[in-house]
Amino acid sequence: METMLKAAEVSELMGVSLRYVRKMAHEGKLQSELHQNAQQRPVYLFPLSALSEDLQLKYYAAHAPAAAVPAAVQAAAAPPAPQRSLDDFTLIERQEISWWIQTLQRWQEYRTKPGTNATDLDDRFILLLQLENPDRTVSVPTLYRKRKALQDGRLEDLLDNRGKALKGRSSINDTVWQVFLSFYLDLREPPALECYQMTVQYIKAEHPELAADIPTYSTFMRRLKNDLPPAVQVLGRKGKKAMRDRCAPYIRRMYDTLRSNEFWIADNHTFDIISTDDGGTQHRLYLTAFLDARSGIFTGCYVTTAPSSQSTVIALRKGILKYGIPENIYVDNGREFLTFDLGGTGHRTKKSKAAQGRYDPPPVLQRLGITMTNALVRNARAKLIERRFRDFKQRISNLFETYTGGNILEKPENLAAILRSGKIPGDKELTAAVEQLLEGYLNAQPYGGEVKADQGKPRIQVYNENLVKKRVPANPEDLNMLLMRSTRAQKVDRRGVRLTIGGQRLDYWTDEFLLHYIGQEVYLRYDPEDLSYVRAYDLQDRFIEQLPVDSDAVMDYHASAEQIKAGQRKTRTYEKLVGQQLAAMTRPEIGRDMRLRLALREAADNLADSAALPAAQPDIVTVMMPWEQPLLKAVGSDINLDRMIRNRIKETGGFDDE
């Protein structure tokens, strides 16, 4: 038998007034039956099944054991959702919740006025809210519902969630979405529309039960924009390096504890200035420079026609003579730095069998006690000196009339006229001006680096204030010896040892040297600016002798390794996570050749369909004939041989009788 509830019971269950329950029954908004009570007065009775499922559960919890609750009601009842805190809501949602809390408090205070019916007070309060907030629609049931939600701690029910039920959901099946991503996340970067078409074709062939529910192309694009993490998209379509450069976390250098001369950074820069050599040839020179990482001053610089390991040595020598020997240098992976006798070959070291047993002499940086750190290969974040080269371009290169600009858009309009006028600086003039401007102008500019306490100070002042230890050579001669270039090991023959410079071979030997070392392997150290002698060393790096030439012609940043490794492990963890997410979003059975296979399958199907079609039946068939006259006509049977013979007899004057 159906359980019938009185209006007072329904009022208590719903948390609304008794008058409001009777009003809903009278207006037919709530199912009810009209009965006569013991006093023969009409009363409303409400079937329990007409109430919502949560109200039915609430009634059974108070009036019946759990076993008496109908199974349909138990199955329909959802478990209570976990309560959310204010931090889980957006700013606008928190403002909405705050407004409802204040409004409900005002409502409770308004209802405490003496001598007035509570129902009338509710109606008056609704009118007051409508006057204060004409853009809001609030009713008495809404107030009771919001009050109940606040009492239960369900802050999310204070919000207007209309239209948000499907937010965050997608109509694309997960399998279909994975197939699409398998085509889309390809290093060949296929167009999204082609990937969508391939997805439709693949699903029709492999999962026909899902083909009818594939949404439109715009739906895929919308989900691609909203749901696909940027790092995954870059990794899938651009590659690991692009993802690392654009999305992955990186190690942030701390300069506060860095001292002057702890790290020098080396690189090469092409002048944005046109100059001329002694022969009048126009060209652009290069600057090989060392930069102090703490202060940003240029320490050692050398202007050259082509960057090389020798220009690096000269720039380093100039910097050491003025500022001392650095503890570390940070360089990229160019051949002018990765030379076996300068700092070592780094990643360029060949792994051949000949190289495994070959003796390499100690490089220049090792002899100077300098540790060389190489940037990661093709690492976009390693060019720390590029910012200072931009300053060089804007503050120095821009001073010269033959300034070319960094690209075609920066090229001055009058450059061609200036070049035609011949107002072009010579290499020597340009070199002298650049060296003076670097030392006296650019190094004196205000510091704008990472250390806020030093910002605004002249850079050279920052260098001096943070120079704790300065390592200097005993004298220039000792520095020259430390900066000597080295050869690889070579065997001494009857002509001693040799250097090949500029395509010319120079021999070095003495009688005593040949007597004791012929047939043995040694290596040489030499000064490129003075080839009149070399210094010979054995493979234990012991000095043997200084050998004269056998000719009168003489040719004119700051962290420990462990900390760096730890930081790199952290970035690698992120890269691994992105790679795992990429693998989870794609389907392993779709290989790189799947697009080609699907295209070939579609082509074969189209050809088969074309062959099955009836042949064309045109109404008019026109035969086209070539209307051409040959330049050369074939010899026919209309030739008159008798006439040809008579003409020949006349030409020769008669028959030739023998």
Contact (Cβ atoms closer than 8 angstroms) between residue 359 and residue 521:
yes
1 pLDDT more than 80 = no
pLDDT value for 357: 56
Strands 263-270 and 328-331: parallel
Q: Quick check: 178 and 586 in contact, CB under 8 A?
A: yes
With respect to residue 374, please indicate whether it lies within any of the assigned structural domains.
yes
Q: What is the CATH number of the domain that holds 522?
A: 2.30.30.130
Work out the angle at residue 27's Cα, subtended by the Cα atoms of residues 22 and 28, and round it to the nearest 5 degrees: 95
pLDDT number for residue 201: 92
Number of domains present in the structure of the chain: 5
The mean pLDDT of the chain is 79
Residue 553 counted as domain residue: no
Examine residue 618 and state whether it is found in any structural domain, yes or no. Answer: no
66 or 102, which is more confident? 102
pLDDT score at 237? 92
277 and 146 housed in the same domain: no
Q: Are 452 and 443 in contact (CB under 8 A)?
A: no
The answer to whether residues 364 and 389 belong to one domain is yes
Q: What is the mean pLDDT of residues 150-175?
A: 73
Asked whether the predicted pLDDT for residue 601 surpasses 90, the reply is no
pLDDT at 361 over 60: yes
- How many Cα atoms are found within 13 Å in the side-chain-facing hemisphere of 515? 4
Tens digit of pLDDT for each residue in 85-114? 666 777 888 888 888 889 998 888 888 877
Among 77, 27, 36, smallest CA distance to 57 is for: 77
Residues 6+ apart with CB under 8 A from 365: 329, 342, 343, 344, 371, 372
Q: Among 252, 246, 220, which Cα is nearest to 231's?
A: 246
Reply yes or no on whether the pLDDT at 631 is more than 80: no
Q: Does a structural domain hold residue 628?
A: no
State the CATH number of the domain containing residue 324.
Answer: 3.30.420.10
What is the domain range of residue 453?
A: 263-351+358-465
Q: How far apart are the first and last CA of the chain?
A: 152
- In this predicted structure, the answer to whether residue 250 has a pLDDT above a threshold of 80 is no
CA distance 368 to 363: 9
Do residue 307 and residue 228 come from a single domain? Answer: no
Six-digit token pair at 348?
């360029």
Do 532 and 548 contact (CB within 8 A), yes or no? yes
Distance CA 500, CA 505 (A): 4
Q: What are phi and psi of 290, to 5 degrees?
A: -115, 135
DSSP string for 515-563: HHHTTSEEEEEEETTEEEEEEEE-TT--EEEEEEBSSS--------HHH
Residues 397 and 456 placed together within one structural domain of the fold:
yes
Instruction: Assess whether pLDDT exceeds 50 at residue 41.
Output: yes
| Three-class SS state of 446 | strand
Distance CA 342, CA 517 (A): 26
State the alpha helices, DSSP H only, in 441-540.
459-465, 476-482, 511-517
**Do residues 316 and 386 both lie within one domain?**
yes
Looking at residue 552, what is its pLDDT? Answer: 46
Predicted structure pTM score: 0.50
Phi, psi values for residue 550, rounded to 5°: -90, 55
Q: Which of 548, 570, 599 is the last residue of a domain?
A: 548
Same domain, 396 and 336: yes
**Chain segment 274-307, per-residue pLDDT in tens:** 999 988 899 999 999 999 988 989 999 999 988 8
Is pLDDT above 80 for 15?
no
Helix runs in 49-156, H state only: 53-63, 71-76, 91-110, 118-132, 140-151
541 dihedral zone (left: phi>0; alpha: psi -120 to 50; beta): left
Percent of the chain with pLDDT over 90: 15
**For residue 45, how many other CB atoms are within 10 A of its CB?**
18
- Radius of gyration over alpha carbons of the chain, in Å? 46
Could you say which DSSP state residue 237 is in?
H
Q: What is the DSSP letter of 342?
A: T
Q: At what angle do helices 174-184 and 230-237 cross, to 10 degrees?
A: 50
506 within 8 A of 531, measured Cβ to Cβ: yes
Q: For residue 553, what pLDDT is reported?
A: 37
Mean pLDDT of 495-523: 85
> What is residue 161's predicted lDDT score, i.e. its pLDDT?
66
| pLDDT grade for 79, boundaries at 50, 70 and 90 | low
Which DSSP helix (H) or strand (E) runs through 353?
Answer: helix 353-356
**Any domain includes 479:** no
**Is residue 190 within 8 Å of 180, Cβ to Cβ?**
no
What sign for the dihedral angle of Cα 277, 279, 280, 282? negative
- pLDDT, position 383: 53
The listed range with the strongest mean pLDDT (61-65, 162-166, 181-185) is 181-185
The tens digit of pLDDT for each residue in 333-346 reads 666 566 666 755 55
Amino acid identity of residue 576, one-letter, is K
Output 128 or 116, whichever has higher pLDDT.
128
- 277 and 400 co-located in one domain: yes
User: Long-range contacts: 141-148, Cβ < 8 Å, 24+?
Assistant: 141/16, 141/20, 143/104, 143/107, 144/14, 144/15, 144/16, 144/17, 144/20, 145/15, 146/100, 146/103, 146/104, 147/15, 147/104, 147/107, 148/15
For residue 177, tell me if it sits in a domain: yes
The answer to whether residue 590 is domain-embedded is: yes
Residue 571 has pLDDT above 60, yes or no: no
Residue 356: the pLDDT is 54
Res. 626 pLDDT band, cuts 50 70 90 = low
CA distance 536 to 523: 6
pLDDT band per the 50, 70, 90 thresholds, residue 170:
low
Residue 209 lies in a domain: yes
d(CA 228, CA 236): 11
Q: Are residues 305 and 345 in the same domain?
A: yes
Whether 623 shows a pLDDT value over 70: the answer reads: no
Stretch among 5-14, 79-88, 110-119, 639-648 having the lowest mean pLDDT: 79-88
State the helix-helix crossing angle for 118-132 and 91-110, rounded to 10 degrees: 140
458 and 320 inside one domain: yes
Q: Are residues 313 and 460 in the same domain?
A: yes
> What CATH code is carried by the domain that includes residue 62?
1.10.10
- Regarding whether 117 and 39 lie in a shared domain, the answer is no
Identify whether residues 396 and 430 lie together within a single domain: yes
Give the 3-state secondary structure percentages of the chain, helix then strand then coil, rounded to 5: 45, 15, 40
List of residues 6+ apart from 49 with CB closer than 8 A: 2, 56
* Beta carbons of 98 and 155 less than 8 angstroms apart: no
